[in-house]
Homo-oligomer: A and B are copies of this chain.
Amino acid sequence: MLENLKKQVFEANLELVKQGLVIYTWGNVSGIDREKGYVVIKPSGVSYDEMKAEDMVVVDLEGNIVEGSMNPSSDTPTHLALYKEFSDIGGVVHTHSEWATSWAQAGREIPCYGTTHADYFYGSVPCTRKLTDEEIKGQYELETGNVIIETMKAKQYKPLEMPAIIIFNHGPFSWGKTPKEAVHNAKVLEEVSKMAHRTEAINKDIVSIDKILLDKHYLRKHGANAYYGQKK
């Protein structure tokens, strides 16, 4: 069942390790089959070097296990909330990658200080508010999804134009049209986080780039008139 998607999700999970975004079991990738309404996700707490493609767990959008002998990632309710709300995404990633997590712990959005950032993220990468005591004591992982959605809406960001966010006190989530693209965005977020900190360390008075340069770079790569790369 969903062998191809399982393979994609499995390989995207391994790519997290290869890109230095995850150690031990500190991350997870999922992918969705929109037609069937099923999500494939990494099992919880399983180490990357023991994991196989067939260990991926299939759940429906309510979190019921459809196939698989292991528990799905404990972050599954967060993934599901994002798939339900962001109808055009196909993959979701969560990591504790060191630089994005440091920004998340610091509780600050990541300003757009250069064209590397603008090539992927159409504005500052947002940081959620803290979860309330009730949210933490309640359905914590679901509420994490909810606060992501709340933040994206407040910022008026479209999911594919801002394919990443950081959770205050926690770490990053990213997404994309496919699991692979979600991992790609997780890596870019990490690089951008690292350079943003260093930019501030080198010049404490620096401000975000101008809107016109943000538009230029984001749109030369992603807009209707994009001219970066090869014709598809």
List residues of A whose CB falls within 8 A of some B CB. Answer: 23-26, 43-46, 70-71, 74, 96, 98-99, 101-108, 113-116, 130-131, 133, 136-137, 140, 169-171, 184, 187-188, 191, 194-203, 206, 209-210, 212-213, 216, 220, 227-231
Contact = CB atoms under 8 A, between A and B. Distances in A.
A228 B44 contact: yes
A199 B105 contact: yes
Taken together, the copies of this chain in the complex come to 4
A123 to B, nearest CB: 15
Contact of A131 (B98, B170, B213): B213
Given A74-B228, A102-B195, A106-B206, 11 more contacts: A23-B187, A25-B229, A71-B229, A71-B231, A96-B115, A102-B202, A106-B200, A114-B169, A114-B170, A140-B216, A140-B220
Contacts of A45: 228-230
B140 A105 contact: no
A131 B217 CA distance: 13
A107 B203 contact: yes
A104 B115 CA distance: 10
Contact of A198 (B102, B140, B170, B227): B102
B191 A23 contact: yes
B99 A230 contact: no
Contacts of A114: 101, 104-105, 169-171
Contacts of A115: 96, 169-171
Contact of A201 (B25, B188, B201): B201
Closest 7 pairs between A and B when the two form their complex, measured CB to CB: A45-B229, A106-B203, A102-B198, A106-B202, A105-B114, A105-B199, A105-B113
Nearest to A196: B105
24 contacts: A23-B187, A24-B187, A44-B229, A70-B230, A74-B220, A98-B191, A103-B202, A104-B114, A105-B113, A105-B114, A106-B199, A106-B202, A106-B206, A107-B203, A113-B169, A114-B169, A116-B171, A133-B210, A136-B212, A136-B213, A137-B216, A169-B209, A197-B198, A197-B202
